[in-house]
A = this chain, B = another copy of it.
Amino acid sequence: MKLGLDISGGDFAPKANVLGAILALNHLPDNVEVVLIGREEEIHPILKENGGDFSRLSVVNAPDIITMKDHPTRAIPQKPNSSISVGFELLAKKEIDSFASTGNTGAMLVGSIYKVNAIPGVIRPCITSVLPIVEGGNSIILDVGSNADCKPDVLYQFASLGSLYAKSVMDIKDPKIGLLNIGEEEGKGNLLTQSAYKLMKGSDDFNFIGNIEGRDLFNGKADVVVCDGFTGNIVLKQAEGIYSIAKEIGIEGTYFDRFNYENYGGTPILGVNSNVIIGHGISNDVAVKNMLCLSYDVVESELTRKIKEAFK
């Protein structure tokens, strides 16, 4: 198995990315190789200095960099020698099994849709985030930002995608799907959630448990929380804000530590034809390691094949 990694993306590139790859290989089975995609002349010295295991690491040179300032839709055609463009080329040619990056999220989403394409039947690919549950374990929420405006059938598909992800990658047997809403009863909500509820109710594609409210996000009432990307992004960033405050006021060694992005490493883009994983721009080496471990789990679980089958 070959896991591709963008070495030029993120705030602490290239060093944190290369170190993350070295750390990951200590945790991953022997049949896993990591392909480092970035500036050769920067990668080699870091590998030498830190004892990178060359038998399971290879380097593909990509001299250019898509920065956070590049326009997401124009960046890939404008910079064909960037690490993100090269990564998608390798993925499209099946020379790597997954491609992970902590770089420009917009460019990663655009690359996923134009270079590897949405799975036929999937209206809008989406991204997830982890919700740490107080009693232990995690739920996920989706979409968290790639689709700000959604129609009810798109939310229905998010439920299917989330359910498949929870089953395949998180090993949850019969994931409980909740619709994020502003009341528990059917009929509550805005026009979108009222309609989505009607579609989701009685579905055979997933185990719909009804509406859940903002106060239930962290109590495990649902394993998969479905919402439009606008709402999900606000929820995610509010949680990040709470985590920052807990750190700032010196609360440590508690539940709130579990909001640390480092633990999760990133999210796959659900609903595209290959395995694309995006990480947080502020990722350090531990976060990059976990992004690669997530890449491994996603490839190993054959999530993409399962989604293709479900959407046939």
Contacts and interface: CB of A to CB of B under 8 A. Distances in A.
A149 B190 contact: yes
A226 to B, nearest CB: 13
Given A134-B245, A238-B238, A182 B233 contact: yes
Interface stretch (A12-20, A23-31, A113-121, A208-216): A208-216
A241 B254 contact: no
A252 to B, nearest CB: 11
A231 B239 CA distance: 14
A146 B296 CA distance: 45
B245 A233 contact: no
Contacts of A214: 233-241
Contacts of A251: 251, 254
Contacts of A199: none
A216 B244 CA distance: 10
Contact of A237 (B215, B229, B239): B215
B231 A217 contact: no
A230 B239 CA distance: 18
Task: Give 4 nearest A-B pairs by CB, closest first.
Answer: A214-B237, A215-B241, A148-B190, A214-B238
A180 interface: yes
Contacts of A63: none
A189 interface: yes
Interface in A249-291: 249, 251, 254-255
A149 B228 CA distance: 14
19 contacts: A134-B249, A145-B182, A180-B234, A182-B237, A213-B234, A213-B237, A214-B236, A214-B238, A215-B238, A215-B240, A217-B241, A218-B245, A219-B241, A231-B234, A234-B235, A235-B238, A245-B255, A249-B254, A251-B254
Given A148-B182, A190-B230, A217-B241, 13 more contacts: A134-B249, A145-B182, A149-B190, A180-B234, A182-B234, A193-B230, A214-B241, A215-B238, A231-B234, A234-B235, A238-B238, A245-B255, A249-B254
In the complex, the count of this chain's copies comes to 2
B191 A217 contact: no
Contacts of A49: none
A41 interface: no
Nearest to A216: B241
Interface in A187-222: 189-191, 193, 213-219
Contacts of A134: 245, 248-249
